[in-house]
Amino acid sequence: MRPAILVAMAFLVLAACAGPPALSAKLPDLAGIDLARGPAPSYRDAITVATVGVDTDTATPWASQVSPAQVRQALMQTLVAARLGRDNGRFRLDAILLTLQRPYAGFAMTVTATIGYRLIDQATGAVVYTATLTTPGTATLDDAVSTDFRLLIADESAVRANFRKLVEELYALPDRPITSSPRT
The strand ranges marked E within 19-141 are 47-54, 91-101, 109-121, 127-139
Task: Give the pLDDT confidence of 83-139 residue by residue, as tens digits.
Answer: 999 989 999 999 998 988 888 777 888 989 999 999 999 999 999 999 999 999 988
pLDDT value at position 20?
44
pLDDT value at position 21?
45
pLDDT value at position 120?
97
pLDDT value at position 141?
78
The domain ranges of the chain are 22-171
pLDDT value at position 30?
81
Which is higher by pLDDT, 27 or 127?
Answer: 127
Residue 118 to residues 39, 56, 128, 142, 156, Cα–Cα distance (Å): 17, 20, 8, 36, 21
pLDDT value at position 71?
85
Residue 154 to residues 92, 143, 177, Cα–Cα distance (Å): 28, 9, 39
Least confident of 16-30, 49-63, 83-97, 98-112: 16-30
**Is there a contact between 16 and 143 (Cβ–Cβ < 8 Å)?**
no
Q: Which CATH number fits domain 22-171: 3.40.50.11270, 3.40.190.10, 3.30.160.150, 1.20.1530.20?
A: 3.30.160.150
Average pLDDT of the residues in 9-23: 45
With cut-offs at 50, 70 and 90, classify the pLDDT of residue 64: low
Give yes or no for residue 26 having a pLDDT over 80. Answer: no
CA distance 102 to 88: 35
Which is higher by pLDDT, 66 or 7?
Answer: 66
Average pLDDT of the residues in 153-168: 92
